[in-house]
Amino acid sequence: MKYILKKAVMMILTLFVVSILVFLAFNLIPGDPAARKLGTEATPAQLENLREEMGLNDPLVVRYLRWAGGFVKGDMGDSYTYGPVEKLIADKVPITITLALMAFVIMTIISIPLGIYAARNKGGFIDRIIVVTDQVVMSVPPFFAGILITLIFGLILKLFVPGKFVSYNRDPAGFFAYLLFPAIAIALPKSAMTVKLLRGSVIEEIGRDYARTAYSRGNDTRQVLYRHILKNAMIPVVTFMGMALADMVSGSIVIEQVFNIPGLGRMLLTSINNRDYPVVEAIIMGISIMVMTVNFMVDVIYRIIDPRIDAVD
Amino acid sequence: MSALVSNTAASQAGGDVWQGRARSLEISGLNVYYKNNKKSIFEKRTLTHAVKDVDLVMYKGEVLGLAGESGCGKSSLARTIVGINKNYTGTIKKTDPYPQMIFQDPYGSLNPCGKVGWILKESLRADRKKRRSEEEMDMRIRKAMEDVELPVDFLERYPSQLSGGQRQRVSIALSLVQDPEILIADEPVSALDVTIQAQILRLLDDLHRKLDLSILFISHDLRVVYNICDHVAVMRNGIIEEYGETDCVYRNPRAEYTRELLRSAGI
């Protein structure tokens, strides 16, 4: 309990630091939001009025507190062109989260059985194929995998229509079907890494003394593997998978471009291009919150599966 | 093939008191091999011949010492008896419940992810020849904990929360729950502090008397072997060089290698 509390406090502190950095970064960038909003035709008096109205003349600390306070209350400020930010990103967040979660599920389904199988049959023909394939897949970046998938599954095999995204409230099945391929593109390299890690971890645990002890009591390989080894072998893998999930949230930015998905990532890039800083700030904060929540959950899960932390604590 | 020098009391002065007693383990013509790891793909996989043509008998209720330098095949022999190592030829006749083993390193031999109670129960579940009820398992676990003189609330602890001596007691309890006739103790004290060593040795000796256990005591420490063993077998390069009653072997070693060992131990 104390441990979880400690991690929660750490998370809030980290978020605080991130928010300061984000705020400072966008306030130090040269350029006047008021001037940007009014265009080149504005008179100095109009500019001054708008600055006053937007609170740009207040000291930095006051502006930060206003921004951060609003953020806590769910008011993320106004986009320079499209009105309140929270409304803008409200329907983008589920898309990005769904994409990341799908990628995570795919990664889990692919990599855990493969990793265990490869470890059990270490040195065998199929294991070698897995190891080599793994090495190749690992080094393919998601955007390239995305392009290949679009080409092969979209344009040649016609399993989906590239660019024809369906909104989830219009056609949930179509929405998931469209996200499947981008999710695979994100999942592939991470799956390869997980397979490699799990394979190594299981092989290492098989050689441990307690596994040998379990054998000596009359267990067969299967029992030793699933009842004794797996829990230990999963400890480093869970950590990695947590980091992978966090990475998938932020990594979907690129893949959303490749597959034309109107998620947070797409919006982030558009807003950067338009210099719509309130939106950019909100999205960066949103992504950091998601990443940190995932890390927090990993810490909690880690705590549950690894009693050894308890002893050092 | 083996250069076995039989040093039974029978060959020296009147019969071995143990001869004719019930046997709990009989090994004959045992050869154990290990596959070596290939260093490159061009190399052929070679085999190490760890145990060569060994014959060995354990009488019911005796403590048999197995001595020899490290790498001589003691542990390979032990592992083959408990069934971890399946690459062997020859016959091993063992009684049911099968022999159980206590390992050298009490830090690594317990699953770090399980509480002591779980580890003990797993050991019972591993014995698939018998289906035991939950109550019977609990009873056996409590009895084993009592036998090794550990309080029952240790069942709720993780191995990492125990000291080396406590862990070794858990290891012993772990091998006792299946109620075996033979205990194989592979250097059970060499990873422990000297004071703890004495305690564990005393515990093993008590258990041997109380439960009428046969113990195969593997050690490189000839003094300990002398103190607790009825018979001793001296092993070298996978061969049993000498076997006999402990007294006879220590007083009148036949094999040159035994003499060497005794000399270096200062006996």
Rounded mean pLDDT, B49-76: 89
CA distance B158 to B161: 5
Q: Poorest-confidence range of A42-51, A198-207, B173-182, B243-252?
A: A42-51
Residue A293 lies in a domain: no
Per-residue pLDDT at B155: 93
Among B113, B126, B171, the residue with its CB nearest the CB of A223 is B126
CA distance A71 to A68: 5
Per-residue pLDDT at B107: 83
Instruction: Please determine, for residue A39, whether its predicted confidence score (pLDDT) is greater than 50.
Output: yes
Per-residue pLDDT at B9: 42
Per-residue pLDDT at B15: 54
**Contacts of residue B111 in chain A, CB cutoff 8 Å?**
210, 213-214, 228, 232
Residue with more model confidence, B29 or B129: B29
Cβ of B178 within 8 Å of Cβ of A217? The answer is yes
pLDDT band of residue B18 (cuts 50, 70, 90) is: confident
Cβ of B158 within 8 Å of Cβ of A231? The answer is no
Is there a single domain that holds both residue A172 and residue A53?
A: no
Instruction: Please determine, for residue A192, whether its predicted confidence score (pLDDT) is greater than 90.
Output: yes
Rounded mean pLDDT, A8-23: 92
Residue A292 lies in a domain: no
The parent domain of residue A58 ranges over 2-87
- Non-local (6+) Cβ contacts of A268 within 8 A are A253, A279, A280, A283, A284
Instruction: Please determine, for residue A113, whether its predicted confidence score (pLDDT) is greater than 90.
Output: yes
Rounded to the nearest integer, the mean pLDDT of chain A is 86
Cβ of B84 within 8 Å of Cβ of A218? The answer is no
Residue of chain A whose Cα is closest to the Cα of B175: A217
Instruction: Please determine, for residue A203, whether its predicted confidence score (pLDDT) is greater than 90.
Output: yes
Q: Which tokens is B85 given?
A: 């190592």
Residue of chain A whose Cα is closest to the Cα of B115: A307
Q: Which tokens is A236 given?
A: 């480093």
Nearest to A115 by CA among A249, A242, A229, A247: A229
Domain boundary among A26, A59, A87: A87
Is there a single domain that holds both residue A32 and residue A162?
A: no
Residue A312 lies in a domain: no
For chain B, how many residues are written? 267
Cβ of B126 within 8 Å of Cβ of A217? The answer is yes
Domain boundary among A42, A60, A87: A87
Instruction: Please determine, for residue B2, whether its predicted confidence score (pLDDT) is greater than 70.
Output: no
Is there a single domain that holds both residue A201 and residue A238?
A: yes
pLDDT tens, residue by residue, B56-66: 999 988 999 99
Instruction: Please determine, for residue B13, whether its predicted confidence score (pLDDT) is greater than 60.
Output: no
Which amino acid is present at B251? R
pLDDT tens, residue by residue, B193-217: 888 999 999 999 999 999 889 999 9
Is B145 buried (19+), middle (13-18) or exposed (0-12) by CB count in 10 A?
Answer: buried
Is there a single domain that holds both residue A105 and residue A242?
A: yes
Cβ(B221)–Cβ(B200) below 8 Å: no
Per-residue pLDDT at B10: 44
Per-residue pLDDT at B23: 87
**Contacts of residue A228 in chain B, CB cutoff 8 Å?**
111, 113-114, 122
Q: Distance from B248 to chain A by nearest Cα, in Å?
A: 33
Among A215, A218, A232, the residue with its CB nearest the CB of B113 is A232
Among A208, A209, A216, the residue with its CB nearest the CB of B82 is A216
CA distance B214 to B207: 10
SS3 percent helix, strand, coil of chain B, rounded to 5, is 35, 25, 35
Cβ of A215 within 8 Å of Cβ of B101? The answer is no
CA distance B237 to B191: 23
Nearest to A139 by CA among A183, A188, A92, A179: A188
Query: Which of B86, B107, B109 is the best substitution to test chain A (most A C-beta atoms within 10 A)?
Result: B109
CA distance A138 to A188: 7
Is there a single domain that holds both residue A133 and residue A228?
A: yes
Cβ(B210)–Cβ(B29) below 8 Å: no
Q: Which tokens is A125 given?
A: 């023909």
Is there a single domain that holds both residue A18 and residue A58?
A: yes
Query: Which of A202, A216, A237, A303 is the best substitution to test chain B (most B C-beta atoms within 10 A)?
Result: A216
Domain boundary among A70, A87, A104: A87
| Alpha-helix residue ranges (DSSP H) falling in chain A | 2-28, 33-38, 44-54, 60-73, 85-90, 93-120, 125-138, 142-149, 172-206, 209-216, 221-223, 230-259, 264-273, 277-305, 308-312
Cβ of B109 within 8 Å of Cβ of A213? The answer is yes
Cβ(B232)–Cβ(B64) below 8 Å: yes
Q: Distance from B159 to chain A by nearest Cα, in Å?
A: 9
Q: Which tokens is A81 given?
A: 């062109």
B23-35 and B88-94 beta bridge pairing: antiparallel
Is there a single domain that holds both residue A114 and residue A36?
A: no
**Contacts of residue A223 in chain B, CB cutoff 8 Å?**
126
What is the CATH classification number for the domain harbouring A110? 1.10.3720.10
Rounded mean pLDDT, B97-110: 87
Residue A16 lies in a domain: yes
What backbone phi and psi angles, to 5 degrees, belong to A39?
Answer: 85, -175
Residue A305 lies in a domain: no
CA distance A134 to A129: 8
Is there a single domain that holds both residue A27 and residue A150?
A: no
Helices A264-273 + A93-120 axis angle, to 10:
120
Per-residue pLDDT at B35: 80
Is there a single domain that holds both residue A177 and residue A158?
A: yes
Is there a single domain that holds both residue A110 and residue A181?
A: yes
Count interface pairs A-B at CB distance under 8 A.
73
Cβ of B84 within 8 Å of Cβ of A216? The answer is yes
For the ranges A91-95, B92-96, B203-207, the one whose mean pLDDT is highest: B203-207
Among A210, A216, A227, the residue with its CB nearest the CB of B108 is A210
Residue of chain A whose Cα is closest to the Cα of B159: A308
Is there a single domain that holds both residue A57 and residue A167?
A: no
Q: Which tokens is B114 given?
A: 């399980």
pLDDT > 90 in chain B, percent:
33
CA distance B100 to B78: 10
Q: What's the number of domains chain A is made of? A: 2
Terminal alpha carbon distance of chain B: 30
pLDDT > 90 in chain A, percent:
27
Residue A277 lies in a domain: no
Residue of chain A whose Cα is closest to the Cα of B162: A311
Q: Which tokens is A171 given?
A: 């056609």
For residue B121, what is the enclosing H or E element?
helix B116-126
Rounded mean pLDDT, A210-234: 87
Neighbours of A287 (CB within 10 A): 20
Cβ(A82)–Cβ(A91) below 8 Å: no
Rounded mean pLDDT, A217-243: 88
pTM, rounded to two decimals: 0.79
Residue A59 lies in a domain: yes
Q: Which tokens is B244 given?
A: 């006999």
**Contacts of residue B83 in chain A, CB cutoff 8 Å?**
215-216, 218
In a 13 Å sphere around the CA of B169, the CA atoms on its Cβ side amount to 24
Residue A72 lies in a domain: yes
Rounded mean pLDDT, A43-67: 84
For chain A, how many residues are written? 313
Q: Which tokens is B184 given?
A: 């194989």
B182-186 and B214-219 beta bridge pairing: parallel
Is there a single domain that holds both residue A110 and residue A50?
A: no
What backbone phi and psi angles, to 5 degrees, belong to A164?
Answer: -95, 75
Residues of B at the A interface (Cβ-Cβ below 8 Å)?
Answer: 79, 82-84, 98, 100-101, 103, 105, 108-115, 122-123, 126-128, 158, 160-161, 171, 174, 178
CA distance B88 to B86: 6
**Omega within 30 of 0 (cis) for the link into B97:** yes
Cβ of B126 within 8 Å of Cβ of A307? The answer is no
- Facing residues of B47 across strands? B35
DSSP assignment string, A134-151: HHHHHTS-HHHHHHHHII
